[in-house]
Amino acid sequence: MLVVLFHSGVQALSGGYVGVDVFFVISGFLITTHLLETLERDGRISFASFYAKRARRILPAALLVAVLTLVAAWIWMSPLLMRSVVDGAIATALYVPNYFFALQDTDYLAETTPSVFQHFWSLGIEEQFYLFWPALLAVGFWLRRRRERRVMVLIAVVTASSFLACVLLMDISQPWAFFSLPTRAWELGAGGLVAFLLRSGARWLRAPLTGLLAWAGLAGLAAVALTFDGNTVFPGWSAALPVLAAAALIIGGAAPGPLNATRLLAVAPLQFLGAISYSLYLVHWPLQVIPQAATFSDAPLPLEQSLALGAVAVPLAWLLYRCVERPVIGWRMLRQRRQGLTGLVAAGASLVVVLASGGVAAVSAQQPLSSDRTAAPATATPDPAGTSFVPANIAPSLDAVAEDNAAVYDTGCHNSTHDADPAGCRVGDDPEAPLVFLVGDSHAASWFPALEELAEEGRIRLDSNSKSSCLPLETDQQYLAKEYTSCEQWRDGVLERIDEEQPDLVLLAMYDSPGRLQDEPGTSTPAQWREGLAATLAQIDGPRVAVMKDVPTQHLNPDECLSTHLEEAQACAVPREEAFEEDLVEAEDQAIEEAGDEVERVDLTRFFCNAQTCPIVIGNTVVFRDTHHLTTTFSRQMAEPMWEEIEPLTV
């Protein structure tokens, strides 16, 4: 319930992702209980039987959903995304999706366009855990002379070591701490320790008051689900809270008497969800991700749509449970034959997924990424009509649009969110050319190619100063909902350099996005924006200053949308009236007007938009590499219009 509602956009359950941690504890508890009972009864573990049962339990539903997800993604998603979809499908078929996402440095809680197979990471953890856990228990049971309490000590040491590894790795690589088995095994191990505890016969476990632990566990899970969010440092120490809550819930639920939570958890609707929970987990994620990806936007689906998709997942999960999950577990042909047959069938099913992935990859590679018509080379002209199709000579090609980024990123001249070095980078060696300081966030970096052209031609000397998500505004800002202190340090350093070097022109550029500012009680965002810009302008004493009007913001990712609208490129363009944050534009205009004659506005909107739309393709050039950054190709073409605007300001 927590995971499905969280992925369905219920913001109140901002920590609903901890449902996976609860699953780990339950899984570790159940499998350890089963293995300990087997060891007590038989004195040994039949590994062939164990793995055959696990395969029949887990793989049929998982691999079927993987194939259906692959096909659905091929039908509805952009062909540009299919390479990552296919890679995810193959990693899933090979039971290593968690390491696939770790290698990609995936941020599970921050991904705007997550993989349709991303939810399989937890199954990868579980499957890999099953490889070593039975052997560990069997060896421990033998070494400790069949004494469970001694084996429990061994399991506690392994679990504690895994938890320590998780905490330590968080400071090195959060994705690896999140996705790798060694740093997540402790959560399943915690469930295993609960199994040992409940089998220990401790007197306090049979006390009626112990049932209160179940309610404490439920309260703890509710508190975590309501207070954790995407900014919580996770897993690490934070993951201990849902794990301990789940453990308390299991221990308290096993206690006798009326104080435990059995009556609540035994109600029919919860029992139904419990029965279909595995199938529900499998189907709910692609139902959310594929429709969102089909919109070609990073914006989440409207809440009502996400909730509807979450609701649709329930009957689909029931069908999967009744028609696949349960029947295969009891399939006589597999249960009564040698266990190796189950392994062969499982390997064959995985091979089917791999082959299907290869087929989808081959078909996707043949899909065209342009029409068969060409367009005249782009030139910067006012009121561009836009090209109504994707030209065969389009620049950059659609599969290269997202990477057509300013050179400052590769050369290290653009500061990351962690870097506060205000040194800047110089381009142009004509000592007689006017010195222009470019200052701002990634939108300023988008203008670097245009200004670089002017610098290389000797018309200016460029000093480029840009930092990701850092507005050139003297006001408190945030990044990922946290105070953005490195932004303030960097901005102050750049302003000091401007004061020392006294350039001929300071060019400010920024992304007009209201979510970048920290809230100031009693002050509206436009007012805070105006005051922040006014404060920055007041600090620049001597040089002329120009403030760029922001480029239009598109609603759709250009490459993804164009790849499915080869003959109707205008369908991907944003209407002009929706392309700008007008209240922030007006706030900037007010600050510029109040600053006096030394500050000018540079507005190049006429080269991006006509009266109706702001096209994505102009001539044979793609304008944007994403929803709000210019491609390097188009930025270079704007060098001459830029010069026409700033030349009078440098005299």
440 and 308 in a common domain? no
Chain segment 467-506, per-residue pLDDT in tens = 999 999 999 999 877 889 999 999 999 999 999 999 999 9
- What are the two backbone dihedrals, phi and then psi, of residue 550, each rounded to the nearest 5 degrees? -65, 155
- Which residue among 307, 339, 364 closes a domain? 364
pLDDT band (50, 70, 90) for residue 646: very high
Q: Across all residues in the chain, what is the average pLDDT?
A: 93
pLDDT band (50, 70, 90) for residue 338: low
For residues 390-417, give the mean pLDDT: 94
Q: Is residue 122 part of a domain?
A: yes
Chain segment 619-640, per-residue pLDDT in tens = 999 999 999 999 999 999 999 9
Does position 146 have pLDDT exceeding 80, yes or no? no
Stretch among 6-20, 45-59, 178-192, 390-404 having the lowest mean pLDDT: 45-59
Does position 171 have pLDDT exceeding 80, yes or no? yes
Chain segment 217-240, per-residue pLDDT in tens = 999 999 999 999 888 889 999 999
SS3 readout for 252-286? HHCCCCCCCCHHHHCCHHHHHHHHHHHHHHHHHHH
Q: How many CA atoms lie within 13 A of 338 on its CB side?
A: 4
Q: Is residue 383 part of a domain?
A: no
470 and 337 in a common domain? no
Q: Quick one: pLDDT at residue 435?
A: 96
Structural domain boundaries enclosing 468: 398-649
CATH number of the domain at 626, please.
3.40.50.1110
Q: Quick one: pLDDT at residue 144?
A: 66
For residues 503-511, give the mean pLDDT: 97
Q: Quick one: pLDDT at residue 17?
A: 96
For residues 305-320, give the mean pLDDT: 97
- Which residue among 364, 381, 410 closes a domain? 364
Q: Which amino acid is at 53?
A: K
pLDDT, greater one: 346 or 537: 537
Q: Quick one: pLDDT at residue 64?
A: 95
Q: Is residue 428 part of a domain?
A: yes
Pairing relation of β-strands 621-622 and 617-618? Answer: antiparallel
pLDDT band (50, 70, 90) for residue 142: confident
Q: Is residue 88 part of a domain?
A: yes
462 and 342 in a common domain? no
503 and 436 in a common domain? yes
- Return d(Cα 237, Cα 51) in angstroms, integer: 32
Does position 292 have pLDDT exceeding 80, yes or no? yes
204 and 353 in a common domain? yes
Q: Quick one: pLDDT at residue 619?
A: 95
Does position 389 have pLDDT exceeding 70, yes or no? yes
49 and 172 in a common domain? yes
Pick from 631, 615, 629: nearest CA to 561: 615
Q: Is residue 194 part of a domain?
A: yes
Q: How many CB atoms lie within 10 A of CB 514?
A: 13
277 and 321 in a common domain? yes
For residues 510-536, give the mean pLDDT: 92
**Number of structural domains in the chain:** 2
Q: Quick one: pLDDT at residue 316?
A: 97
- Which residue among 345, 364, 383 closes a domain? 364
460 and 538 in a common domain? yes
491 and 630 in a common domain? yes
pLDDT band (50, 70, 90) for residue 334: low
pLDDT band (50, 70, 90) for residue 597: confident
Q: Quick one: pLDDT at residue 299?
A: 84
Q: Quick one: pLDDT at residue 261?
A: 84
357 and 435 in a common domain? no
- Return d(Cα 503, Cα 650) in angstroms, integer: 9
